[in-house]
Structure 1
Amino acid sequence: MKHSNDPTPVRSGSTARFRPLRRTAKEVTDPARIGEFLRTAHVGALGLSDEEGTYVVPLNFVWHNGRIYFHGSDEGRKADAIKRGGTVCFSVFEEIAVTCDPVPALTGAAYFSVMVFGHCVPVENLDEKTEALQAMLDKYVPGYFSEPLSRTHVDRYRSGMGSPTVVYRIDPVRITAKEDNPPTDKYFVPGRTKEQDLKRRKA
């Protein structure tokens, strides 16, 4: 069933400056599967660039209303890199299992991954900020708070360093997803050996 929060893997008019996926056999294009993965994954990596080079930051996030939201300080390298503008990349990855094979080059992993390319901006609207932070609370600590997050708390809160909480939003221009899902009998478990696999193949 399609969810209202499911992404469109490639947004209209956004493909001209992006190269196509090389390994299309592993590509996932089902918006429902991509959306479900983004809704449930707990950690993503935000890729930025600045005058110091490439900068990748792991962080918690929420996929809400077709966008990535996260929060942070209004100071520091991440904030400065976001202010520079340009396209950012947000990557989410789950390793399901390590796979093994008597041929060393065929050692691999079962995985699902999503990459969101887009523009990252601070959220100025207090209602949108509060809604995004509430969505994060509902995702990470469901049922913990009996009362909804208040606009006043979001507006007045300051960290121990005196900084306000900034909510950032990534507006996607392209979303790609890949998976490798080999049979479970390829999954490695401790104690499994090449000799055992070769013996099974001969049986």
Structure 2
Amino acid sequence: MRQEALACNDQEKIESFLTNAQTGFLGLSDGQLPYVVPMNFIWHNGAAFFHGAGEGRKVEVMKQNPNASLVVCENFGTIANPVPAKTDTSYMSVIISGNIEFVTDLTDATEVMQLMLNKYVPGYYDTPLSKNHVEKYRSSLGSKTLVVKLVPQSVSAKENPMNEGMKFYPGRSIKADL
């Protein structure tokens, strides 16, 4: 990492960020070109999990090359500064690089899908997800649900915390800051 001062090594903060973040960008290698897909995901037991149709370009690319990265980031606002070149963004970002594994065990796949429901629609369902539903469900195009695990080989995080006194808001001007 070029700017070591921005490195986040607080594992608890990284875990919390990954647990609560809504969207990650899955980076795959499709021959000579990168292929990046926004994904809902969960962070569970030190790995990222996501799901989708059991067929299609993403699945074919993962089968050809299991190396992948997941980028998760959140923008917390703009940091105003009277010096234009020092205007900045407050953010946190995490890059997880590793290998794709397909979750084929029905019990494990059901657990992951239940955790996704708990994250994205907490309290919505009265009963837990059944293995039968996961096994039998087909999309409108006839595809089975595929559950995928990204096993990290490395996790790196950066953050630029917000100084609330410097946070830009509509109506703020340089005149007020000088």
| TM-score calculated relative to the size of structure 1 | 0.84
- 1:195: how far off? 2.5
Deviations 1:148-185 (A, max 9, x none): 11111100100000000000100001001111014211
User: Which residue does the alignment assign to 1:45?
Assistant: 25
User: Which residue does the alignment assign to 2:141?
Assistant: 161
Deviations 1:118-175 (A, max 9, x none): 1012111111100000000111111111111111110010000000000010000100
User: Which residue does the alignment assign to 1:142?
Assistant: 122
Residue among 95, 106, 122 paired with 1:126: 106
Partner Cα distance (1:77, 1:186) in 2: 44
User: Which residue does the alignment assign to 1:113?
Assistant: 93
| Code of the aligned partner of 1:145 | Y
Partner Cα distance (1:121, 1:82) in 2: 9
Are 2:54 and 1:54 aligned? no
Report the 3-state secondary structure (helix = DSSP H, G, I; strand = E; otherwise coil) of the residue aligned with 1:152: helix
Greater CA deviation, 148-157 or 86-95? 86-95
Gaps of 5+ in 2: none
| TM-score calculated relative to the size of structure 2 | 0.96
In proportion to residue count, which structure has more strand? 2
Partner Cα distance (2:77, 2:20) in 1: 18
Partner Cα distance (1:34, 1:82) in 2: 26
User: Which residue does the alignment assign to 1:14?
Assistant: none
Report the 3-state secondary structure (helix = DSSP H, G, I; strand = E; otherwise coil) of the residue aligned with 2:126: coil
Residue among 154, 157, 162 paired with 1:174: 154
| Code of the aligned partner of 2:29 | S
User: Which residue does the alignment assign to 2:11?
Assistant: 31
User: Which residue does the alignment assign to 1:96?
Assistant: 76
Partner Cα distance (2:106, 2:55) in 1: 19
* Aligned Cα root-mean-square deviation (Å): 1.1
Same amino acid, percent of matched pairs: 43
| Code of the aligned partner of 2:84 | P
Report the 3-state secondary structure (helix = DSSP H, G, I; strand = E; otherwise coil) of the residue aligned with 1:137: helix
User: Which residue does the alignment assign to 2:173?
Assistant: 193
Gaps of 5+ in 1: 1-20, 199-203
Are 2:67 and 1:87 aligned? yes
State whether residues 76 and 162 of structure 2, in contact with CA within 8 Å, keep that contact through their aligned partners in structure 1: no
Report how many residues are paired: 178
- Tell me which stretches of 4 or more aligned residues in structure 1 moved more than 3 Å: none
